[in-house]
Chain A
Amino acid sequence: MKRVWSSLAMVAALALAAGSAQAQNLNVVSWGGAYTASQQQAYHDPYMAANPGVKIVNHDLGSGALAKLRAEVESGKVTLDLIDMTAADAIIACDEGLVEPIEPDTWLAAAPDGTPASKDFFAGTLTVGGTNCFIPQIVYSTTFGYRTDAFKGKQPSSLLDVFDLKAFPGKRALEKRPNNNMEWALIADGVPAKDVYKMLSTDEGVARAFAKLDTIKDQVIWWTKGAQPPQLLADGEVVIASAYNGRLFSAIVEKKQPIAIVWDWQAFDLDGWVVPKGGKNLAAVKKYVRFATDTQRLADQAKYISYGPARHSSAGLVGKHAKLGVDMKPHMPTSPENSKTVLISDYVWWADHQAELNDKFNAWLAK
């Protein structure tokens, strides 16, 4: 019965004071699943232990976060306090004035040796796409996983093998959006990586990328959520899948699935925090962000998930997995062994061409 009353009270309170969230609650938006869990353990739990007045509430909106943020800022009633976004979304949010600009050296903690934050974060990551709103946490990559029991003899080892249905027959899973897929198609078709975006700016380049994707189109299952490709691999629904490297790590090392990673032309990306404009708890958010992005915390996150911390000073502190005791360094997308060939997304180019290529990509899919 107590629950009934507390719930009634809650409904009433929400009705009366909608929007005016209690001061001690911080609404943090992230991706859910293993990723939010790693943030919970590395950032939220120690922060809440040190600051008993603060309660961090996780909202997993994933790629819907930007739309929600825009709707809230437009309405003037911002309930979200801190959002975890990819760099591409952060650029849009910053361009449209939906998030607060940050001053790295006053907001963020210096490295233990005194190097200011603006020098300690990887070069260019704080000003990604020429913006000044993004606080990077991790470098992650979208790369390929394959089932180790699917092929007799030679195993896939390069991007070319993903497009090679003869040598490696079976279903593939790719992300249902043009980003990365278009670039990979051109690289696999022999276009040098440095010319990819110049090529994609022309109709012929786009047609060439689709022609390459056409060669595997019938065999592709398109995923939309990061949790899908490891699941599809584990269930045997596909034999090769593009996936976030952290999800693959979890499937391989934690769940012991017969999966291995191909790092060839892994697509690097950044993920980090943005602070919504007009949020009600700016001071508390700043305090939290300073803690959650310091050298130790970023290194700690790598104990739970195989994403590379975005600070130079954290790299040396990356150690073993918190539960399994596996050395995490070889699983990092940033390790020299894994990053021989890397696709780096041109955010500014994509900002210009996203809408157009989305249309073309969807039209191509529908055919």
Chain B
Amino acid sequence: MPTPTDDVMRTADGTPLKISLQRALVRSRLRALLLVLPLLAFVLVFFLFPIGHMLFRSVDNRIVGSVLPRTAVAIQDWDPDRAKLPDEAVFEALVRDIQAAFKDRTLGRVGRRLNYEKPGMSSLFRKSGRGAARITGAPYRDRMIAIDKRWGDSSTWRLIHRESGALTSAYFLAAADLKLSERGAIVRQPEPRRIYLTLFYRTLWMSGLITVLCLLLGYPVSYLLATLPLRISNLLMILVLLPFWTSLLVRTTAWIALLQTEGVLNDIMVFAGLLSEDGRLQMIHNKFGTVVAMVHILLPFMILPLYSVMKTIPPSLMRAARSLGATPFTAFVRVYMPNTVAGVGAGCIMVFILSIGYYITPALVGGRTGTFISNFIALHVGETLNWGLAAALGALLLGLVLALYLIYDRIVGVDNMKLG
């Protein structure tokens, strides 16, 4: 190897130092990445991908195209504004599709799917399945209309035309109490069917209330803990940490025991003569029960960040304000409180985020008026089988949570998050 003659600094093997350092940096970056990689892969495969996969159902509309493949293609040539009904070829495709789907026993899927958009489609397809099995030749249109006159109704065909694509906006619209009209315009659901906006509003409103209550209860306690001598505050901290570490089902159970009509609080009030035996208060299975139990469950999430911020505020600050002539109240409001804003922000967003996604406690004590959007997602997944709608509601909820998460990241920074 010829001796280098320029004045570049080199390592022992002759590589320029700059390049060598760069290589070292790349290597150590790779090492750092390599350490993160297993967790990243794990979270991607077993957490993030499943969620994405589920949320895709909110726009996935492959049912019509897969059960009625010929019809979905043939109907593309039909212009609903020019001809009332599609032509004979589309009817023939429909008959063949229905016959095949009836044999495969998949016809009910398309009936159910379209029934979400237009009640009655379910029975139309069931009836047509049996009827079409007997059709052997033309005229297909007249024979289908003979089976059920709704095949001669352009609204049925407009619906199939609209929902024959691979993607749909119908679930997101439904999640916002909207729908597509027969002619494809976005309109509100009829009044008696509007429910999800109310639920989102209720979820947000109650979460806001819970957050405010947590702040009102958490602030004085955190202040006390931050200003008491360490020996005492450590002891009192146990009173905050024990609930934090106690199963939320245990705490929900406790509130049921306390609040139910034949429960501890009602018994005490009846015993004390505050209530009559018949006048027992309904404190659970409604908003009140949900709010009380959730404030109890989420309060530690408010106290802990508040406490850790207040801990860093030197006591001399308040004394200085006092010595400069501020009343205790002014000193507290104008000097102390502004210093706690970061803690207030962190605590509030944390409580709010946890609250809007809550499922268990509202499910157990929510009753008629205290249930959250999460409970409806569970209902649509587990019982009504409207998975597209569940996914759309989930996507909206997740969007909300992520927006708040970003704000949290701005205020606190996710890498500064602390526990206990």
Query: A residues near B, CB below 8 A?
Result: 63-64, 66-67, 70, 92, 94-97, 101, 130, 176, 203, 206-207, 210, 220-222, 235-237, 348-349, 351-356, 358-360, 362-366
Contacts and interface: CB of A to CB of B under 8 A. Distances in A.
A366 B262 contact: no
B385 A235 contact: no
A143 to B, nearest CB: 22
B112 A95 contact: yes
B282 to A, nearest CB: 9
Contacts of A96: 105-106, 108-109, 112
Contacts of B120: 352
A67 B385 contact: yes
A312 B65 CA distance: 45
Given A95-B111, A96-B112, A352 B192 contact: no
A355 B384 contact: yes
B415 interface: no
Given A95-B111, A95-B112, A366-B199, A203 B383 contact: no
B126 A206 contact: no
Given A351-B122, A358-B384, A363-B198, 18 more contacts: A63-B382, A67-B382, A67-B385, A94-B105, A94-B108, A95-B107, A130-B130, A203-B190, A210-B192, A220-B368, A237-B262, A351-B115, A351-B126, A352-B115, A359-B193, A363-B192, A365-B369, A366-B368
A244 B385 CA distance: 24
B262 A207 contact: no
Q: Which of A67, A235, A352, A359 has the most CB of B within 10 A?
A: A359
Contact of A366 (B126, B190, B198, B381): B198
B123 interface: yes
19 contacts: A64-B383, A94-B105, A95-B105, A95-B111, A95-B122, A97-B105, A97-B106, A101-B105, A210-B192, A221-B285, A221-B367, A222-B368, A348-B126, A351-B123, A352-B121, A355-B386, A356-B119, A365-B368, A366-B199
Contacts of A354: 384
Given A67-B382, A95-B107, A348-B123, A222 B367 contact: yes
B385 A70 contact: yes
Given A221-B285, A352-B115, A97 B108 contact: yes
A46 to B, nearest CB: 33
Given A130-B126, A353-B119, A360 B368 contact: no
B192 A366 contact: no
Contacts of B368: 176, 220, 222, 365-366
B123 A352 contact: yes
Nearest to A66: B385
A35 to B, nearest CB: 18
A334 to B, nearest CB: 28
B261 interface: yes
Contacts of A63: 382-383
Contacts of B190: 203
A362 B367 contact: no
A350 to B, nearest CB: 9
Contact of B383 (A67, A351, A363): A67
Contacts of A95: 105, 107-109, 111-112, 122, 126
A354 B126 CA distance: 16
A362 B115 contact: no
Contacts of A206: 192
Interface string B366-384: 0111000000100001111
Nearest to B390: A67
B71 interface: no
Contact of B122 (A210, A236, A352, A359): A352
B202 interface: yes
Contacts of A362: 195, 376
B14 to A, nearest CB: 52
B262 to A, nearest CB: 6
Given A236-B262, A365-B368, A97 B192 contact: no
Contact of B192 (A207, A236, A351): A207
Nearest to B386: A355
A203 B192 contact: yes
A359 B383 contact: no
Interface string B167-205: 000000000000000000000011011110011001000
Q: Which of B105, B121, B285, B381 has the most CB of A within 10 A?
A: B105
A92 B382 CA distance: 14
A70 B380 CA distance: 13
B365 to A, nearest CB: 12
Contacts of B194: 363
Contacts of B123: 348-349, 351-352
Q: Which 9 interchain pairs have the tightest Cβ spacing?
A: A95-B108, A97-B105, A363-B195, A96-B108, A64-B382, A359-B193, A351-B122, A356-B119, A360-B192
Nearest to B113: A96
A331 to B, nearest CB: 28
Nearest to A237: B261
A92 B385 contact: yes
A204 B261 CA distance: 37
Nearest to A74: B387
Q: Which of A101, A176, A210, A237 has the most CB of B within 10 A?
A: A237
Contacts of A365: 368-369
Contacts of A176: 368
